[in-house]
């Protein structure tokens, strides 16, 4: 290696190391709402450095095509980021995550279709990354379609798990054959291998109920990171290895957190019929008791403590600004206001935190389940905005309920509960909520933004 080539190599590796540090710093800052915006900037700078320095790599070709692809992808991402509403952010995350898995699979495909022999270890990693990346890609697309409403129901049929297992075994068999040939396999075999891997991702995700999509998205995020790390080993790219391992580890921990928050094992999420059978379980008796906005406003205006529990209904109505305006009015009257966030509230991890941050809610008013649960017993009012399963007391009391054992926010222990809900239907999982039928619960029907505006006017009228 010449002196200039050696210097270039050292420069590239140093840049990759700096980029990796920026990824880790960014991810660390993203763990808190206070530092999340800065974390994204740090990680973005790291990605920019890694991308630019890669152009100096020996043997780089098709620079113009790469630049055009980056430009097109960047413009599309910028446009979609500006246009996509917060309610659609979960499916956007699923789509972008799927693109990462697809990119890792495409790298493996490009390496394998050349038909040149690999060393034993790289070909194993290339095949493993191809399978994981392809499954993550097609599975994430199905998750996107479910959240977007393009697929309205889960697809289940007899012997489904057996079919999925056979497809997986066939994929692994072809992958094993490619490994045995050290990557020098016919194009038809490589094509069949990728087709089966993509099909497996579809078959795994189609039966999963919509209520489990946050866990599925998190799982595929972990898979994407793992696939990228494997392909980084194949290419000898340190930035891909480190970034993929960090994303894979973070996604794995988040998946475990989400499953634990639902008191479900990952196997139960992937292979149970929760989404389809939930509607038939957890039947409750009693009657729903409506309340009008002026009465609800009086109840909160003269309370000592109000705990607000936001859910997906707030996101759908884009009501976070109205709710925060209402809370400011209550605080001006001396009412203590807190926000309670369940780990699986909304359609993805952190969904409610992002909405509240967008409205300008101070971070010190927002608490997670473990921090806030003990305070519900001292709250005069628990205001539920479009949340359902995360406040359902059946999770504590009804052993026949599909969500039995799931940690919930103890909203039912507040002296009074006001639920803003558009209608009388069950939640996203299809389970009827026993909270709505309790004696201390009142239902304020209507769109959350409209209801918030009515509550604001009613509180102002008390001044």
Three-state DSSP state, 349: coil
458 vs 455: CA distance, rounded Å: 5
By DSSP bridging, strand 336-341 and strand 416-421 are: unpaired
Work out the end-to-end distance of the chain between its first and last CA atoms, rounded to an integer number of angstroms: 80
The C-alpha angle 201, 207, 212, rounded to 5 degrees, equals 95
447 vs 297: CA distance, rounded Å: 16
Burial of 328 per CB tally in 10 Å (0-12, 13-18, 19+): middle
**Token couple for 28:** 């660390």
**Consecutive H or E run containing 238:** helix 238-261
361 vs 359: CA distance, rounded Å: 6
The distance from CA 324 to its chain's CA centroid, rounded to whole angstroms, is 24
Residue of 389, 398, 412, 439 marked active site: 389
**How does 109-132 read in b/e, with b if 16+ C-beta sit within 10 Å?**
bebbeeeeebeeebbbbbbbbbbb
87 vs 435: CA distance, rounded Å: 25
Q: Is 389 a catalytic residue?
A: yes
CA-based radius of gyration for the chain: 25
**Token couple for 324:** 């925060």
Residues 6+ apart with CB under 8 A from 53: 11, 12, 15, 16, 19
**Consecutive H or E run containing 441:** strand 441-445
Burial of 248 per CB tally in 10 Å (0-12, 13-18, 19+): buried
Q: What's the helix, strand, coil split of the chain in %, to 5?
A: 65, 5, 25
248 vs 232: CA distance, rounded Å: 13
Q: Which of 102, 124, 126 is nearest to 220 (CA)?
A: 102
Three-state DSSP state, 222: helix
Q: Which of 128, 34, 68 is nearest to 361 (CA)?
A: 34
Active site residues: 389
């Amino acid at each position: 290696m010449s002196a200039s080539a050696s210097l270039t190599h050292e420069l590239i590796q140093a840049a990759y190391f700096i980029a990796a540090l920026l990824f880790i710093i960014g991810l660390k800052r993203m763990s808190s709402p206070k530092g999340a915006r800065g974390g994204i900037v740090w990680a973005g700078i790291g990605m920019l450095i890694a991308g630019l320095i890669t152009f100096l790599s020996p043997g780089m070709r098709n620079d113009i095509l790469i630049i055009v692809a980056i430009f097109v992808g960047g413009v599309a991402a910028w446009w979609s980021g500006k246009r996509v509403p917060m309610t659609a952010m979960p499916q956007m995350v699923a789509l972008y995550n799927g693109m990462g898995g697809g990119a890792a699979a495409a790298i493996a495909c490009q390496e394998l279709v050349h038909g040149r022999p690999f060393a034993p270890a790289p070909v194993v990693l290339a095949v493993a990354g191809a399978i994981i990346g392809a499954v993550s890609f097609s599975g994430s697309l199905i998750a996107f379609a479910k959240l977007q409403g393009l697929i309205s129901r889960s697809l289940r049929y007899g012997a489904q798990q057996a079919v999925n297992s056979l497809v997986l075994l066939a994929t692994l068999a072809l992958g094993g054959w490619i490994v045995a040939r050290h990557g020098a396999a016919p194009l038809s075999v490589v094509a069949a291998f990728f087709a089966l891997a993509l099909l497996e991702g579809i078959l795994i995700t189609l039966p999963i109920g919509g209520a489990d999509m946050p866990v599925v998205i998190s799982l595929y995020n972990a898979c994407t990171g793992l696939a990228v790390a494997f392909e980084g080993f194949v290419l000898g790219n340190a930035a891909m290895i480190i970034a993929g391992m960090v994303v894979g580890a973070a996604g794995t921990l988040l998946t475990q957190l989400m499953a634990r928050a639902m008191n479900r094992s990952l196997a139960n999420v992937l292979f149970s019929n929760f989404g389809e059978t939930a509607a038939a379980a957890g039947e409750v008796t009693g009657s729903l008791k409506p309340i009008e906005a002026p009465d609800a406003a009086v109840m909160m205006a003269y309370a000592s403590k109000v705990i607000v529990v936001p859910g997906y209904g707030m996101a759908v109505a884009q009501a976070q600004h109205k709710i925060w305006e209402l809370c400011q009015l209550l605080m001006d009257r001396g009412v203590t206001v807190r926000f309670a966030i369940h780990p699986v509230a909304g359609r993805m991890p952190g969904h409610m935190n992002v909405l509240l941050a967008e409205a300008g809610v101070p971070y010190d008013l927002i608490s997670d389940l473990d921090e806030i649960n003990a305070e519900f017993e001292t709250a005069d009012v628990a205001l539920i905005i479009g949340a359902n399963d995360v406040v359902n007391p059946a999770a504590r009391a009804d052993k026949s309920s599909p969500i039995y054992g799931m940690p919930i926010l103890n909203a039912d222990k507040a002296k009074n509960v006001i639920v803003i809900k558009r209608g009388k239907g069950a939640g996203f999982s299809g389970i009827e909520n026993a909270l709505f039928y309790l004696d201390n619960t009142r239902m304020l029907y209507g769109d959350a933004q409209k209801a918030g505006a009515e509550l604001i006017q009613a509180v102002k009228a008390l001044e």
